[in-house]
Chain A
Amino acid sequence: MIRVAGKEYPWRAGMTVADLLREYGDPESCPVVRINDHYVSRPNFAATLVPDEAEVFLIPMIAGG
């Protein structure tokens, strides 16, 4: 089990960030997610595995400068 945006969500082995966002139904709004203390950007979503028991934060990221 993982937590996504504060809510429990089922985890499965081999789940990538891209998989998670697609299944979660929100693939486009977040160019960045944070998995625990680690930031992952959209270009790396497909290559980044979500570990079990992770806390995933969806970061809208429209600002910066």
Chain B
Amino acid sequence: MSGHDLKLVKTFEYQRPPIDRGYANQTLYLNLASLDIAVRPVTRQMKDLFIGGKGFDLWLLWNAVTPQTRWNDPENPICIACGPLGGTPAYPGSGKSIAATLSPLTGAVIDSNVGGYFGPYLKFSGFDALEIQGRSERDIVVYVDGIDQTVQIFTATGLPEDAYKLSELLTEHFAQGKPRNISVVSAGPGAQNTYFGCLNFSWYDPKRKRARYKQAGRGGVGTVFAHKGLKALVARWDSGISVDTNRPADRERLKKVAKLHSKEIVELDPKQNEMAIIGTTHLVTIMNDHDLLPTHNFRYGSHRQASNLGQAVYRRLFDPGYDGCWMGCTVACSHGVRDFVPLSGPYRGRKVFVDGPEYETIAGCGSNLGIFDPHTVIELNFYCDAYGLDTISVGTAIAFVMECFELGLLTPAHTGGMDVSFGNRASALEIVHQMARGEGFGRIVGQGVRRMKTIFAQEFGADPKIMADIGMESKGLEFSEYMTKESLAQQGGYGLALKGPQHDEAWLIFLDMVHNFMPTFEQKAEALHWFPMFRTWFSLCGLCKLPWNDIIPQDNQGTPEPAKVMKHVAWYAEYFSSVTGRESAPEDLIRMSEAVYNFQRVFNLRMGFGRREHDVLPYRAVGPVSELEYESRAERYDKQLGDTCKVDITGKSTAEKLALLRRFREQQYETLKDAVYHRRGWTSDGIPTLATVKRLGIDFPEVLAVLQANGVAA
């Protein structure tokens, strides 16, 4: 046990309201500077328009900040919300928390959907959302005790720095003998010293008798958390949760639909992707086979050693057993590695339990770095979590550095003597340790790809033009781990995503490239309307999207719209109706999301983003940057130039063909933008029209003022 001390500085007693149809109907406000604690009502309008979860976060943020607010200003809040369906144990994937704040990477709103028990425990303790403003010079622990109906603020000294030790200690400290009643949210030293800190949300695993973790990874929400002086949030609730805990409007209707979906997953997951055994690791070789697995900073989509990182390996390495990050989930994909022994860093030589890796971490910290050793990936996964670092941004940022090093834009003189060539496992690990310590070259890498491009150009004299092409960020956020060069729809999925290139908004690669479901611009635009809307809906409700389309009904192929898995969409409408009592059909779910989605676009606009000029991609995401890349897939590119562009390539050099292809593909992306903006009811500059905001009921005076200020007149 560490020599820690928690000193109680504020206690706030409250009356816990009964949960009604999935809502506590109030939010909790904290200010870390003034130590103010307040309970605020959830209005009818909030529920009608913003639903919950991410919608509530956005509304709280909108009211807390001004266009001048920056990520490190005290008024920038961290908001964490569940959602009206969150906390239902019978329906698979129903325990998500959604964290949101102004991002240190993008300056706009970032939201992250994460497992673990915190969100449901917060709601059952009486709060649909938590909003934290202010900043403390002292380390702070906030404790929400739903059983004793108190909120307490502690100043802390001597607590462990890393998330694993900290969560373990605080779980034991507050558990009163029942560790499953506790969920801890924490960041770590990496979050403090970089711009892409993540948050670890814990859930207690009674079989393994340890706290387990899921990460709210993207956009630096952990950095904001650490900057505020927050060491941890702790929620306590009685883990004896049933379908009745949400007090659904129609209990029997809920039980019926929950049973249908849960039973189907139990029956079909073993016949499909076995996510209950291997998580998302099956994607590694599948992506590789389809030339979609990023390798060497997104240069290529496959590598002969990719199977070293595939499911066959992790099937052996994962510790067998139930791994649901929420109670009763039958997808249960949150696997981990027992008795792993790191070869570097503060845990060197000691056995640890590692939560993960998932596909994104394997691709980001493995293949994209030219590292095909599963043990190094696990070690990078472990330290990123322990330090509070987003594995996706870490992977994409180091991949950029490695390519710059290989191109001679960086030398050992810039990296503190390190050889950061692709495949250098020791250097990748050392950069992560340096990020956590806020030292050396790692401190620069931890500022993210966008800032690195500026630093490398201004301080190291690197060529900004080539870095603009190969630095894989958009809107300031590092790309998640899919190749988009051959899927125009997925280029839109990343480039038009509100928060930056994260696949949770639209993942259309397989539908576009493999199934060819959307050959025309109009069809792509329709997909880039419907899919982001439906995916947004999961974060409004406190849900995981995996049960929707990662386990497919056997009769799905014969349905009119197989890509949408409408049988499951109908079940979700039934689920929503049965809990909230708000009778909803599938198209109503899309409309719910559309209001929140457009509101977020206007929010971006209010913060100085959210126009066409911001929906840009580095060319590496669109096509081959170098002659080497072109020549590696010359048949494909030559064919496109000949068949689609009607260019006679006879006698043309690779450099000439590269330039022609680039002109064509960049134009394609601009045409796609036009089609999508039109479908979404936006202007050609990417701004929601007045008619759109009125149709969606978000035509508040403040929204209209933002539109007017940006040239969208009444």
Contact = CB atoms under 8 A, between A and B. Distances in A.
Interface of A: 5-6, 29, 31-32, 34, 37-39, 41-44, 57, 59-65
Contacts of B562: 60, 62
Interface string B541-580: 0000010111010001100001101000000000000000
Interface in B263-288: 271-274, 282-283, 285-287
B509 A64 contact: yes
A34 B275 CA distance: 13
B511 A38 contact: no
B286 A61 contact: yes
A31 to B, nearest CB: 5
Contact of A6 (B271, B289, B548, B550): B271
B480 A65 contact: yes
A41 B507 CA distance: 19
Nearest to A44: B289
14 contacts: A31-B510, A32-B286, A34-B272, A37-B312, A41-B286, A42-B514, A43-B289, A59-B272, A61-B510, A61-B514, A62-B549, A62-B565, A64-B286, A65-B504
A43 B271 contact: no
Contacts of B549: 62-63
A47 to B, nearest CB: 11
A62 B552 contact: yes
A51 to B, nearest CB: 16
B652 interface: no
Interface residues of B, number: 35
Contacts of A60: 272, 552, 556-557, 562
Nearest to B549: A63
A64 B507 contact: yes
Residue of B480, B482, B557 contacting most chain A CB atoms (<10 Å)? B557
Contacts of A32: 286
Given A37-B312, A43-B290, A63 B550 contact: yes
B290 A41 contact: yes
B315 interface: yes
Contacts of B274: 34
Interface string B106-122: 00000000000000000
Contact of B285 (A39, A57, A62): A39
Interface of B: 271-274, 282-283, 285-287, 289-290, 310-312, 315, 480, 482, 503-504, 507, 509-511, 514-515, 546, 548-550, 552, 556-557, 562-563, 565
Contact of B563 (A42, A62, A65): A62
Contact of A64 (B272, B283, B557, B565): B283
A1 B378 CA distance: 40
B271 A57 contact: yes
Contacts of B509: 64-65
A15 B562 CA distance: 29
A7 B511 CA distance: 28
A59 B273 contact: yes
A59 B590 CA distance: 27
A64 B285 CA distance: 12
B191 to A, nearest CB: 25
In the A-B complex, the 8 residue pairs with the smallest Cβ-Cβ separation, listed nearest first, are A65-B507, A41-B289, A65-B503, A63-B549, A60-B552, A63-B550, A31-B514, A29-B557
A4 B557 CA distance: 17
B515 A39 contact: no
Given A39-B285, A43-B290, A44-B289, A64 B312 contact: no
A39 B282 contact: yes
Contacts of A43: 289-290
Contacts of A63: 507, 510, 546, 548-550, 552
Given A39-B311, A41-B290, A43-B289, A62 B282 contact: no
A28 B543 CA distance: 31
A61 to B, nearest CB: 6
Contacts of B557: 29, 60
Given A32-B286, A41-B289, A43-B290, A62 B515 contact: yes
A37 B282 CA distance: 10
